[in-house]
């Protein structure tokens, strides 16, 4: 659960607004059906909301994975909205990932993107664009696919406190569980199947949980949970690896910032962006923890009196039985001055505190597709010019014929 990601956004709409000549050139190609026709690429409209989604999906090659487009909690879109149009793109590409063919390995199903199964080349950033008649929001999701031998490199971090009973949760299985069928989940410790007769481990039937009675420091290590997912008659493996860290009981309520987990966050000037600060506060929800953002060691509301940069609502979240606090930093919009400002997330309670700095960095815009379109644009201009010349010549000839006695 502690594996997070930095946002990455699509800029194709920016290029379209900056290249009117290219649009004019391509429009010539659609004037006459008798000439060759190039289907124009649909312009991607501006999105008011660019949400930084901290979720980073990790999966083993050959296994099923389902990416879920997080509904913008700070916008006005909801997947229950019947007028909502949602599309998927990969790595800032123009083509939309379609899910019309069930035979396709990658299928778009509403607010989810299915990989049946995942391949190494699927690694990348997937952007889902949510749009209705009045609002647009983008969410980018990172997917990393690795070989099975690298399972430990993509483990989920979980913590248990020593000398108490603790619960491990096999994460991110909600979309694979069939409520009408029995859940068969197998557990391993350091690649060795857990002994079913060992009373130290209690598997809760029909759940994704494993109870460890009287947690000891030596219980730390890697735990693996496995299940099978059946779709259209084909079974796909689903594996999760958990790195268990045991923590002394005295430190059970110390806040731990788990996101942002990078020193920089990429952004585009002129667009809205949201960076959440996500803080792990332990197994108990009773501890009082303050989470706030600073800019150049100054409170946000003091630094930005025009409310261009604000701190969002304090939210309490429960994931896999563990408690988090999330407080977003909202840029509306991002300005160049933000690239030279030191932002910090501060989490503090009566037990301890943690400070995590991050910088906003301007993201480089790729012009590769624009350069590739130049020959096409020139060809379109040539064809358009010939068509216009032919049309004018025909009109001139007809005018001469009428005037002739």
Model pLDDT for residues 258-279, shown as the tens digit of each residue:
888 667 887 878 888 888 899 9
| Residues 28, 34, 36, 41, CA torsion sign | positive
SS3 89: strand
316-338: per-residue pLDDT in tens?
888 766 788 999 999 988 999 99
Q: Which residue has the tokens 């358009």?
A: 384
Backbone angles phi, psi at 101, to 5 degrees: -95, 115
Mean pLDDT of 189-202: 87
Identify whether the C-beta of residue 291 lies closer than 8 Å to the C-beta of residue 347: yes
Q: What is the C-alpha separation between 184 and 226, in angstroms, rounded?
A: 8
Q: What is the C-alpha separation between 222 and 350, in angstroms, rounded?
A: 31
Tell me the CATH number for domain 155-251. 2.60.40.10
* Per-residue pLDDT band at 224 (split at 50, 70, 90): very high
DSSP code of 403?
H
Q: What is the C-alpha separation between 377 and 367, in angstroms, rounded?
A: 15
211: burial class by Cβ within 10 Å (0-12, 13-18, 19+)? Answer: middle
Q: What is the C-alpha separation between 188 and 174, in angstroms, rounded?
A: 20
Q: Which two tokens stand for residue 130?
A: 């949510």
Q: What is the C-alpha separation between 301 and 310, in angstroms, rounded?
A: 7
Q: Which two tokens stand for residue 358?
A: 């991050």
150: burial class by Cβ within 10 Å (0-12, 13-18, 19+)? Answer: middle
Q: What is the C-alpha separation between 244 and 217, in angstroms, rounded?
A: 10
Mean pLDDT of 218-224: 94
Q: Which residues, 6+ apart, have CB-to-CB distance to 242 below 8 Å?
A: 155, 156, 157, 158, 168, 170, 171, 222, 223, 224, 225
Q: What is the C-alpha separation between 349 and 329, in angstroms, rounded?
A: 20
pLDDT at 288: 82
Count the Cβ atoms, other than its own, within 10 Å of residue 239: 18
Least confident of 9-23, 210-224, 229-243, 245-259: 9-23
Mean pLDDT of the chain: 75
- Tell the CATH superfamily of the 254-267+274-364 domain: Immunoglobulins (2.60.40.10)
Mean pLDDT of 61-77: 73
Where in the chain do CATH 2.60.40.10 domains reside?
155-251, 254-267+274-364
pLDDT at 197: 78
Portion of the chain with pLDDT greater than 70, in percent: 68
Portion of the chain with pLDDT greater than 90, in percent: 30
Mean pLDDT of 291-308: 94
Least confident of 133-142, 193-202, 217-226: 133-142
Q: Which two tokens stand for residue 345?
A: 């997330």
* Per-residue pLDDT band at 81 (split at 50, 70, 90): low
pLDDT at 355: 92
Strand 343-348 relative to strand 353-362, pairing: antiparallel
Q: Which two tokens stand for residue 95?
A: 């083509």
């Amino acid at each position: 659960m502690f594996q997070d990601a930095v946002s990455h956004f699509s800029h194709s709409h920016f290029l379209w607004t900056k290249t009117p000549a290219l649009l004019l050139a391509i429009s010539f190609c659609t004037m006459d059906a008798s000439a060759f026709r190039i289907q124009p690429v649909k312009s991607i409209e501006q999105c008011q909301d660019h949400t930084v989604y901290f979720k980073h999906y990790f999966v083993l090659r050959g296994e099923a994975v389902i990416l879920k487009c997080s509904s913008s909690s700070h916008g006005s879109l909801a997947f229950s909205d019947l007028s909502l149009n949602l599309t998927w793109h990969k790595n800032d590409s123009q083509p939309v990932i379609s899910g019309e063919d069930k035979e396709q390995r990658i299928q778009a199903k509403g607010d989810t993107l299915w990989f049946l199964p995942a391949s190494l080349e699927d690694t990348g950033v997937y952007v889902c664009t949510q749009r209705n008649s009045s609002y647009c929001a983008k969410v980018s999701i990172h997917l990393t696919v690795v070989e099975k031998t690298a399972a430990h490199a993509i483990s989920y971090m979980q913590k248990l406190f020593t000398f108490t009973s603790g619960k491990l949760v096999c994460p991110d299985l909600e979309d694979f569980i069939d409520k009408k069928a029995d859940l068969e989940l197998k557990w391993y410790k350091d690649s060795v199947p857990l002994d079913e007769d060992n009373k130290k481990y209690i598997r809760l039937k029909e759940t994704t949980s494993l109870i460890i009675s009287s947690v000891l420091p030596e219980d730390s290590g890697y735990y693996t949970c496995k299940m099978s997912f059946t779709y259209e008659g084909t079974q796909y493996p689903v594996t999760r690896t958990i790195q268990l860290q045991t923590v002394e009981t005295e430190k059970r309520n110390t806040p731990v910032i788990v996101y942002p987990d990078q020193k920089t966050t990429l952004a585009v000037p002129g667009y809205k962006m949201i960076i959440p600060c996500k803080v792990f506060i332990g197994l108990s929800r009773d501890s009082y923890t303050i989470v706030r953002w600073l800019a150049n060691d100054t409170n946000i509301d003091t630094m930005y009196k025009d409310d261009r940069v604000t701190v969002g609502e304090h939210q309490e979240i429960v994931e896999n039985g563990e408690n988090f606090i999330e407080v977003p930093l909202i840029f509306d919009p991002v300005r160049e001055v933000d690239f030279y400002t030191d932002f910090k997330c501060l989490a503090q309670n009566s037990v301890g505190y943690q400070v995590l700095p991050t910088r906003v960095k301007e993201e480089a815009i790729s012009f590769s597709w624009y350069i590739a379109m130049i020959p096409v644009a020139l060809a379109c201009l040539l064809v358009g010019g010939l068509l216009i010349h032919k049309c004018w010549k025909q009109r001139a000839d007809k005018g001469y014929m009428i005037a002739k006695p």
